[in-house]
Chain A
Amino acid sequence: MAIDSDLAARLAMQYEPATYRRRIAGHDVIIHCHHYNARLQRTIEGARGIDGKGIIVGAAETVFADQLARALRPDDDEARRWAVAELLYRHLGFGRIDLSQVGAGIVTADSSHFVEGWLAGLGESADNVCSFTEGYVQGAVYAVTGAAVRVREVECMARGAERCRFEVDRGERPPVTPNRKEPPIPAPREPGAGWLRSPHVDEQAIIDAVVGMPMVGDDAGLIPAFSVYLANMPADFYNRICIGFVEAMRGLGRDKTAIRLLVSDAEHCGMNTFRGIMHSPEWDGLIAPMVRDRADALHAIIAISNALGWGDWHVTAHTPRSLALESRYGYEAVGYREFRGLAAAPQCAMLTGVAAGVMELVYGEGTVEERYGTFSAREERCVSCGEASCNFAVEQVE
């Protein structure tokens, strides 16, 4: 489908330099890679006693019904509405779906971020893996037609199929849950006080370069950048699935286990994602010439993660054995406040895990598995609890 200027304008990314947030079609989007997305899915769907798949499908349905509604215009005819739904999926980096037969109850996909992520990071799967796409299509059908449907994947490329195939069931089901939340909290405090910088690393140049990259799906709807597959995921999706997972596990008395699992996924993500980035031509071209020692690498990694929209976080103290970070506007903390109000305990599992993971990557030795667990991170204060900023402390494990 040709992308005309009208569609391009609807999906153009708006960047907010004060908080590093990226916004597409009315939603803050966070750029994560296939390692994190596949691991997060495996954790949530793999937990016994809860409907993890339902959490992912439901979150995708709710969030993309809302995002698509914001991308549509009142004078769009139905063909154009379906075209926008196909395009948004591809644009965000999730792959390529064909909605041309959705009226007959069939949807196919010949390219998928989640399939690529699963196969590259976790190996072949015994089950279909496109829960996210099921939810996306349910949200798309609702946004385009107003109908609440169930979508089920019946063939998956992760299991060797030539393409993923989905069936649309138009039977009775509850209405789509609206993406209701409180207005975002303002940025908690002025930036800059007490942050450490490297004299060699031009963080702004890194951020400008990353923000200037065309982080949109290619012909196949994928974003192969920094030697990983990236995707623009709405922050609301991550927050809905993580909050939903912890709350569901709380019902089994396992909420602390759930948080540990989310932190662990992020710790692996911190190592895998940035290991891929540090071996990429993009790193070699722009960043490697700035890096003289391991501390420089750490500062460069933090700058990249800020450009990806993770947390507006900054180094406040640093030795080879320890790290302290302050985040002004992490999407987890802000999202918790929007969805649930004030929290009783810190909520930033992703940033906590990544904080440990990047120290393991920068200062550790050996394979990812050998490095895992050699640093420990905790979130000491959190915006979700009403604090002015989120603060993380990382220490080497003796």
Chain B
Amino acid sequence: MRREKVPACVHPETYKYFLDRDAVIPTWQRLAARWGEPRHNTSFRTMEIAAPRFTLRSTVLGNPITVLRRRECTADDVAELHALLGYRE
């Protein structure tokens, strides 16, 4: 998987994480198990999980996942997220 920085966002370290196709469903299952089931916005065809330190948002296809960090987000929070996403720097 890879990630791309997203400009002009709520946090300077905002990225889109592009999951491998086979990883999309299990990744969202892991995220839901950790922070709750995603909410769907049918008008925009998006879904999101609002975690305490991030918002995880994607189209209904689930890929890529845009991770909007809150200001309180720490390196440990990011490390935990990366472990769930299966992302390595």
**Nearest opposing residue in chain B for A286, CB measure:** B44
A227–B6 CB distance below 8 A: yes
A119–B43 CB distance below 8 A: no
Q: Please report which residues of chain B, range 48-74, place their CB below 8 angstroms from some CB of chain A when the two chains form the complex.
A: 48, 50, 55, 57-60, 66, 68, 70-71
Query: Does residue B27 face the partner (Cβ distance < 8 Å to A)?
Result: no
- Interchain nearest-CB distance for A71 vs B (Å): 27
Query: Does residue A153 face the partner (Cβ distance < 8 Å to B)?
Result: no
Tell me which of B7, B16, B45 contacts A285 (CB under 8 A): B45
- Interchain nearest-CB distance for B78 vs A (Å): 17
Which residues in B have their C-beta under 8 angstroms from that of A227? 6, 8-10, 14, 66, 68
- Interchain nearest-CB distance for A279 vs B (Å): 5
Considering the chains assembled together, what is the distance between the CA atoms of A224 and B48 in angstroms? 12
Known: A209-B44, A286-B44. A280 touches B66 (CB 8 A): yes
Query: Does residue A276 face the partner (Cβ distance < 8 Å to B)?
Result: yes
B8–A275 CB distance below 8 A: yes
B50–A285 CB distance below 8 A: no
- Interchain nearest-CB distance for B28 vs A (Å): 13
Query: Does residue A35 face the partner (Cβ distance < 8 Å to B)?
Result: yes
A276–B45 CB distance below 8 A: no
**Nearest opposing residue in chain B for A271, CB measure:** B8
Q: Would you call the interface of chain B mostly helix, strand, loop, or mixed?
A: loop
Which residues in A have their C-beta under 8 angstroms from that of B34? none
Which residues in A have their C-beta under 8 angstroms from that of B10? 34, 116, 120, 224, 227-229
Tell me which of B7, B46, B50, B55 contacts A276 (CB under 8 A): B7
A35–B41 CB distance below 8 A: no
**Nearest opposing residue in chain B for A283, CB measure:** B44
B11–A120 CB distance below 8 A: yes
Mask, A219-230, CB within 8 Å of B = 1, is 010001001110
**Nearest opposing residue in chain B for A276, CB measure:** B8
- Interchain nearest-CB distance for A196 vs B (Å): 25
B59–A285 CB distance below 8 A: yes
Query: Does residue A76 face the partner (Cβ distance < 8 Å to B)?
Result: no
Tell me which of A218, A276, A282 contacts B44 (CB under 8 A): A282
Considering the chains assembled together, what is the distance between the CA atoms of A280 and B68 in angstroms? 10
Considering the chains assembled together, what is the distance between the CA atoms of A286 and B10 in angstroms? 21
Nearest 10 CB-CB pairs, A to B?
A: A285-B45, A209-B43, A276-B8, A285-B59, A282-B44, A275-B8, A272-B8, A285-B46, A227-B9, A281-B57
* New contact pairs (7) apart from A227-B66, A228-B8, CB-CB < 8 Å: A212-B43, A224-B68, A228-B10, A276-B8, A279-B8, A285-B41, A285-B59
What are 23 contact pairs spanning A and B, CB under 8 A? Answer: A34-B10, A119-B71, A120-B12, A208-B43, A209-B43, A209-B44, A224-B55, A224-B68, A227-B8, A227-B14, A273-B8, A275-B7, A276-B7, A276-B8, A279-B6, A279-B7, A279-B66, A281-B58, A282-B41, A284-B46, A285-B44, A285-B59, A286-B44
- Listed in ascending order, the chain B residues whose CB lies under 8 Å from chain A are 6-12, 14, 16, 41, 43-46, 48, 50, 55, 57-60, 66, 68, 70-71
